[in-house]
Amino acid sequence: MNTIKKDAIAMLTAEHREVRDLFERYEALGQDDKNRKKKLADQICTALTLHATIEEEIFYPAVREAGVDTAELVDEAIVEHASAKDLIAQLQEMDPDDALYDAKVKVLSEQIAHHVGEEEKEIFPKAKKNKLDLAAMAEEMALRKDEVAATM
């Protein structure tokens, strides 16, 4: 069961930090640490899949609905998610011994860092400005995240 953050933006930001930390832990591993690399990559993929799901199903539609100036940002974020999901699917079919495994984790990390930067600098401030009920949204997102996690 997830602990519910006080609002949706706090929840998403905390998840951003958790994934960044997982990527940093991955980067710190040596070439020969294949088992831990696989475990961390799997954790990263799961965390990103859950995060993308609640953003796409709950957060982005609410942000899009709340403001005229958010549609383009939300569209771009959805396209970035699609690109990340493609890399996640590839990684889930691979092993750390496979060619390009580390490179794909690195590119995923870079894509996510870029995406997080845009969300936190552009989308989150607009969501706050548009007076969304971020507390209620956090509860809804936490429940949905638990539902999806139970099926993984």
Q: pLDDT, tens digit, for every residue of 95-150?
A: 999 999 999 999 999 999 999 999 999 999 988 888 889 999 999 999 999 999 99
Residue 39, in any domain of the structure: yes
Residue type, 138: A
How much is the pLDDT for 19? 97
Q: Is the pLDDT of residue 5 over 80?
A: no
The pLDDT > 70 percentage for the chain reads 96
Q: Is the pLDDT of residue 2 over 70?
A: no
Residue 1, in any domain of the structure: no
How much is the pLDDT for 143? 95
pLDDT-derived band of residue 68, with 50, 70 and 90 as boundaries? Answer: low
CB distance 119 to 56 below 8 Å: no
What 3-state class would DSSP assign to 109?
A: helix
Residue 147, in any domain of the structure: yes
> 52-82 b/e with 16+ CB inside 10 Å = b?
bbbbbebbbebbbebbeebeebbeebeebbe
How much is the pLDDT for 31? 84
CB distance 14 to 120 below 8 Å: no
Residue 42, in any domain of the structure: yes
Q: What is the pTM of this model?
A: 0.91
Residue 3, in any domain of the structure: no
CB distance 23 to 109 below 8 Å: yes
Quote the longest CA-to-CA distance of the chain: 50
Q: Is the pLDDT of residue 67 over 80?
A: no
Number of domains in the chain: 1
133 is in which domain, residue-wise? Answer: 8-151
How much is the pLDDT for 66? 84
